[in-house]
Structure 1
Amino acid sequence: MKIAFVYPEYESLGIEYLSAVLKQHGHQTKVFFDPILFKDSYFDMGGLAGLFDYKKHIVGRIVNYKPDLVAFSVLTDFYGWAKGLSRQIKEHMDVPVVFGGIHPTAVPDYVLQEKSVDYVIIGEGEYPMLELVNAIQSKNKRPQIDNVWYKKDGLIEKTKIRHLIEDLDSLPFPDKDIFYREVCNSLDYIISTGRGCPYSCSYCHNSFTKKLYSGRGKYLRRRSPENVIEELESGLKRYKMHSVTFQDELFTYDKKWLSEFSVLYQRKIKLPSFCCVDPVSIDPETVDFLKRINCYAVEMGVQSLDARIREGVLGRKYTNNDVAGSLKLLRCGGIECITDHILGLPTEGPDSYTELLEFYRKNRASHVSVFLLRYYPNTDILSKSGLKNEDIDKINKGENFNRFTVCGSSGKEDVIMAKEMLMLLNFLPINLVKFCVLRRRYPFLLFIAKIYKVFLCANIFRFFNRLIRWRKMIIPYHINAFRYLKYPLAKIKILVLGLKKEGGICE
């Protein structure tokens, strides 16, 4: 069987694991990558996006590939993109289409209402996908497979949810070649050491996926340190790795595992690494473990410094002192720290923004990332949002598509301007920020923010900020950044010279 995966913007570990399992059982896989230039998580520039649109090219390549199944891994932010492309594929060829990923897992009934979608895979997809492929190969287009829903005579056929994969070491290593051959060989190796999260934050998919898998195995699981090291050693032999990104939702929750892993990493891998942490798990011992794995920077989810909102709305339990203490420990350990914040939260007001500014005047982070709240289907925060049923229905249908990096679900001008103002913490001299905060000169910050808007999401500022402040920081050379270097040139060749490449950009 030939399976065509379709994915935008980023490298997908999920697809790499699916491909590895399918190849292990004799099937052929290929990814068709859409760079979605100038209309992605950070840009929305209609004119340029239309000029550099790759959809027709992708559809043509898929038709030439003649797959037996087309598979989309779908995030809510890209559900509209996936629907549009699947419709175009169906117009050109009669091939079954399957949607999997977080969005179909959250609202499978809504997704199966789309005419271009034949199957939906819910939750962990490696073995449901394999069984579906085997069934289609056997000419059984209506199989009863756990986690696989489909349409029959206009009705949705539902199946039960299987248990989670307990032994993650039993999975093959992710198939990196499927992306590297299509797009480029990433110098930043992305890896996951486990699955699940110890928390159930109300805005996150874990708030519903934990309920989905209740009674179906341990939700929070981890690979053995030896298994992770074995994958990294294999990557070192096959690819030009310059750094490692651990894509776990929280990397530092298990000290015993981290202690064992850090010793092996220090001895066998040694590459600079990046991971995600939380304010509760950072202490002197954990910082020492991070230094052993040559961790140059971490990303810490703070989200809100208002205790009432943090606990009552988001379901996160820690104090501002925890955040301040973590920042100090990481700074003393020589590890850069990016903090994440969400604006536009229910019951949030201007006082929350002032509190945030005051906090970072006293507790400087390496970089403050500010996002706008984006309501996602079936998450717990919807019950606290005050939204009407018709608005929630639009969210479930993927119609409310404004991304958290652009204008989120709020769209309020004051919230968007507050985001831009707070992002200036990363680019203005600290003494100027102190002056503006102490003297309440927020109109001046907003004036600077208007100038900042001209520079398109601060990408120019971000680059120079990293050069100046992150002396030890490595700017990851991965697919998300690389696509803006190579795909525009390839598109220009197609437009100007009329070249029609049937292979990937790197083939």
Structure 2
Amino acid sequence: MSKILFLQNSARELEGLMSISSYISRNGHQSKMLIEGYGNLETTLETYRPDVVGLHVLTKDHDWAKEKCKEIKKLSPGTVTLLGGAHPTHYPRIGLEEGVDGICIGEGEKMTRYILDSIENNEDWKDSNSLYYAQNGVLVKNSLDSWLSAEEIPIPDRSLYRGVEGIRDNADLQIMSSRGCPYTCNFCGNWGIKNLFGSTRVRLKSPENVIKEIKDAKERGKIDTIHFQDDMFGLQEQWLNDFSKMYKAEIENPFYVLLRCDSVTEKLIYTLKDMGCYEVGIGIESGNERIRNEILGKRLKTETILKAAEILKKSGMRFHTFSMFGLPEETLENSFETIDLNIKIQPTVAYTQMFHPYPGTKFFTAETEPHIIGANFDLFSHNFPYTEDTPRIQRLQKLAMMAVEFPSVRPFLQGMIELPLEEGQFEEVAKEFWEKIYHKRLKNKNKHLEN
């Protein structure tokens, strides 16, 4: 038996780590979770004595992961340090950093089990598939392993987070009924996955296994609502029909899903509502069709977005939108188009964020990196590319949710983003409006669920 300690820099349950924990347990290996800022790393290393510490790393965690690996090596020199997650997969040079023994490329179940098996048997673990590691200052890249089939994907080990300091009891169950997405939009890490593996390969878990997974979670604690985190829920009609019957008969909890606008039909929304779906999320990304399709590769016409919104509103289904500001080639005028499209379709809430060219997207490659990381952009601190319009677009993004919620504000936006306020003052004003909208949305959601 070998032991792995998972270390992450956010206090939330991650299905990928729970899946790895479940997968390695089949060979008798043990796992434990530690949340940065809560448990004590030195004490945990001394008492648990893991063979491997696996760090989950997002791009924002780049510097944190580097420092943690050095700290682990100082406290426990013989412990293997592995990095996994989207960032190491798409930015593998982090594997050259001091204290990093290896990085996982893509899914981690097979690689982690192989390494733990090898350690248990006193064998070399560095020949594992999907592993990159540093040797004499050069990154050695082993062959990439095949993905797990739908049947091989285990039921996540939710006990991994039970009783872990920093994790609050949450009555909203986060779950995935599939892995992968058939689309490769330029702004998504799926674009990088296709370039690495040759395809994105969608795998739908069987309806029976998804129901079993939900029941397993409900046995462990109170569940009020279920959030399906699939990139796109219900991709196959027959799968959805089968799952719908089982869900209504055995689960009944209200749930939330993500959809593409071009998948929204009256039949689909009726089926989801009949099952108990209370809200869906749709991505419109930009109000400008050229930017949305030619730059972002979304392949989604504005008329399709309008039609989807019409169907959702007609059905009485709550829905929210996702949009980005500060996109490549976007002007301030284009940013206003994004607000105007959201106002036109009137979602329950309009979520927005500033664009960030993460590794793994078409906007961050070996060719574009020198132009992205410059004096005005720090990849690892969540800044974004800077143009002449950026300061005003940033301000507009902070006001977007308010403008969609209260369209009467729209004529005043231009003047508001020109206000002679320091950024801290402007953010405080925007934050106050946002909090009012958030609490209103939460109140409306609870009222909707009660009905």
Q: TM-score, normalised on structure 2?
A: 0.89
Q: Contact between 2:332 and 2:392, CA under 8 Å: does it hold in 1?
A: no
Distance in 1 (alpha carbons) for counterparts of 2:178 and 2:302: 28
1:5 aligns to 2:6 (yes or no)? yes
Q: Contact between 2:191 and 2:362, CA under 8 Å: does it hold in 1?
A: yes
1:293 aligns to 2:265 (yes or no)? no
Distance in 1 (alpha carbons) for counterparts of 2:161 and 2:434: 25
Q: Contact between 1:244 and 1:274, CA under 8 Å: does it hold in 2?
A: yes
1:138 aligns to 2:121 (yes or no)? yes
Spell out the pairing of 1:70-469 with structure 2 (5 A cutoff).
70-94=53-77, 95-108=79-92, 110-166=93-149, 168-182=150-164, 183-214=167-198, 219-382=201-364, 389=370, 391=372, 400-403=379-382, 407-410=383-386, 412-425=390-403, 427=405, 429-430=406-407, 432-433=408-409, 436-437=410-411, 442-444=414-416, 453-454=428-429, 456=431, 460-469=435-444
Distance in 2 (alpha carbons) for counterparts of 1:473 and 1:66: 48
Q: Contact between 1:313 and 1:381, CA under 8 Å: does it hold in 2?
A: no
- Which has the higher mean CA deviation after the structures are superposed, 464-473 or 311-320? 464-473
What do residues 117-139 of structure 1 show as CA deviations (whole Å, max 9, x unaligned)?
10111111101110011112222
What do residues 191-242 of structure 1 show as CA deviations (whole Å, max 9, x unaligned)?
1111111110111110010122227xx7111111111111112222232111
Distance in 2 (alpha carbons) for counterparts of 1:441 and 1:300: 25
Distance in 1 (alpha carbons) for counterparts of 2:367 and 2:35: 38
Q: Contact between 2:177 and 2:228, CA under 8 Å: does it hold in 1?
A: yes
1:28 aligns to 2:30 (yes or no)? yes
- Give RMSD over aligned pairs: 2.8
Pair 1:392–1:160, CA change in 2 (3 A)? farther
Distance in 1 (alpha carbons) for counterparts of 2:269 and 2:189: 28
Q: Give 1:171 shift.
A: 2.8
Pair 1:332–1:246, CA change in 2 (3 A)? same
Name the structure 2 match of 1:493: none
What do residues 61-109 of structure 1 show as CA deviations (whole Å, max 9, x unaligned)?
334322111001211122222222222222211111001111111122x
Give % identity. Answer: 25
Q: Contact between 1:262 and 1:289, CA under 8 Å: does it hold in 2?
A: yes
SS at match of 1:380: coil
Distance in 2 (alpha carbons) for counterparts of 1:387 and 1:208: 14
Q: Contact between 1:164 and 1:213, CA under 8 Å: does it hold in 2?
A: no
Distance in 1 (alpha carbons) for counterparts of 2:143 and 2:210: 31
Distance in 1 (alpha carbons) for counterparts of 2:264 and 2:67: 44
Q: Which amino acid in 2 is paired with 1:443?
A: G
SS at match of 2:245: helix
The unaligned stretches of length 5 or more in structure 1 are: 35-52, 476-507
Q: Give 1:115 shift.
A: 1.1
SS at match of 1:280: helix
SS at match of 1:341: strand
Name the structure 2 match of 1:478: none
1:17 aligns to 2:1 (yes or no)? no
Q: Give 1:421 shift.
A: 2.1
Name the structure 2 match of 1:483: none
Pair 1:86–1:399, CA change in 2 (3 A)? farther
Pair 1:189–1:173, CA change in 2 (3 A)? same
Q: Which amino acid in 2 is paired with 1:373?
A: F
Q: Which amino acid in 2 is paired with 1:91?
A: K
Q: Contact between 2:104 and 2:131, CA under 8 Å: does it hold in 1?
A: yes
Pair 1:136–1:441, CA change in 2 (3 A)? closer
Q: TM-score, normalised on structure 1?
A: 0.80
Q: Give 1:465 shift.
A: 2.3
Pair 1:467–1:196, CA change in 2 (3 A)? closer
